[in-house]
């Protein structure tokens, strides 16, 4: 492929409502953050072009509103997607539990897209009690292991790991190792390219999606 031919990838974003999908997309594409984004009604779409290693790459990013009535539009976001970001709000564990159903539904329409588990609002998450943070981290790691996918904590508000998400996506799609340092430490913005090997002391059964 010549440098004049752009590589184009469709990226789907799914998850419960009010978790920050649109905020993260707008931050990545336009480098802007607005406290007052209106709830996505249906599907949002944005395009991001950039040069990577001398190659032009185009991300076509599809963001599905998280309200239940929009689940019938899931095929628009998932069909032909190269990657799907399964997203949740780090401050609301119920939205992480919600990933189970989003994953199950999305896989009906696309079994080949590379999955990624993304926790949003890390800037608010770090203000939570350490035991609450630990519980969410452990559960998120269990989900990532079940999904066999990277786990990334991000914040659109203060620009944590927003660009890294898409660097990791591209590296996965083009099968090269990204020049990104992994982060495993508690109370830090987790960035794990492979499911984290953890051994629970309570003997709980592994998460299954």
Tens-digit pLDDT profile for residues 126-181:
999 999 999 999 999 999 999 999 999 999 999 999 999 999 999 999 988 888 99
Q: Determine, yes or no, domain membership for 202.
A: no
How far from the centroid of its chain's Cα atoms is residue 62's Cα?
12
Q: Determine, yes or no, domain membership for 205.
A: no
CATH code at position 122: 3.40.50.300
pLDDT given for residue 200 in this prediction: 42
- With 0-12 / 13-18 / 19 or more C-beta atoms within 10 angstroms meaning exposed / middle / buried, residue 100 is middle
Contact between 118 and 163 (Cβ < 8 Å): no
Structure token digits, residue 63: 């963001």
Query: Nearest CA to 77 among 129, 8, 11?
Result: 11
Could you list the residue range(s) of the whole structural domain that residue 73 is in?
A: 7-192
Residue 193 has pLDDT above 90, yes or no: yes
Q: Determine, yes or no, domain membership for 34.
A: yes
Residue 72 has pLDDT above 90, yes or no: no
Q: Determine, yes or no, domain membership for 1.
A: no
- With 0-12 / 13-18 / 19 or more C-beta atoms within 10 angstroms meaning exposed / middle / buried, residue 111 is exposed
pTM of the predicted model as reported, rounded to 2 decimal places? 0.90
Crossing angle of helices 162-174/21-30, nearest 10°?
80
**Helix or strand holding residue 171 (H, E):** helix 162-174
Strands (E), 65-136: 83-89, 114-120
Q: Determine, yes or no, domain membership for 87.
A: yes
Residue 204 has pLDDT above 90, yes or no: no
pLDDT, tens only, 48-70: 998 877 889 999 999 988 677 77
Q: Determine, yes or no, domain membership for 47.
A: yes
Strands 151-153 and 191-192: antiparallel
Q: Determine, yes or no, domain membership for 44.
A: yes
Query: Nearest CA to 116 among 90, 82, 92?
Result: 82
Number of domains into which the chain is organized: 1
């Amino acid at each position: 492929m010549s440098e004049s031919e752009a590589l184009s990838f469709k990226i789907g974003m799914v998850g419960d409502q009010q978790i920050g999908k649109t905020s993260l997309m707008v931050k990545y594409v336009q480098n802007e953050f607005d406290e007052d984004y209106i709830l996505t009604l249906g599907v949002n779409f944005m395009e991001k072009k950039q040069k990577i290693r001398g190659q032009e790459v185009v991300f076509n990013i599809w963001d599905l509103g998280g309200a239940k009535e929009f689940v019938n539009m899931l095929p628009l976001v998932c069909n032909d997607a190269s990657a799907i970001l399964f997203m949740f709000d780090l401050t609301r564990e119920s939205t992480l539990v919600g990933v189970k159903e989003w994953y199950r539904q999305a896989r009906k329409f696309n079994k080949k897209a590379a999955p990624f588990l993304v926790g949003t609002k890390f800037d608010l998450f770090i203000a939570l009690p350490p035991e609450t943070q630990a519980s969410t981290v452990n559960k998120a790691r269990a989900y990532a292991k079940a999904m066999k996918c990277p786990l990334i904590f991000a914040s659109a508000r203060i620009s944590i790991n927003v660009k890294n998400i898409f660097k990791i996506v591209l590296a996965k799609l083009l099968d090269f190792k990204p020049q990104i340092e992994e982060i495993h430490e508690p109370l830090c913005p987790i960035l794990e390219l492979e499911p984290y090997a953890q051994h629970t002391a309570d003997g709980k059964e592994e998460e299954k999606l």
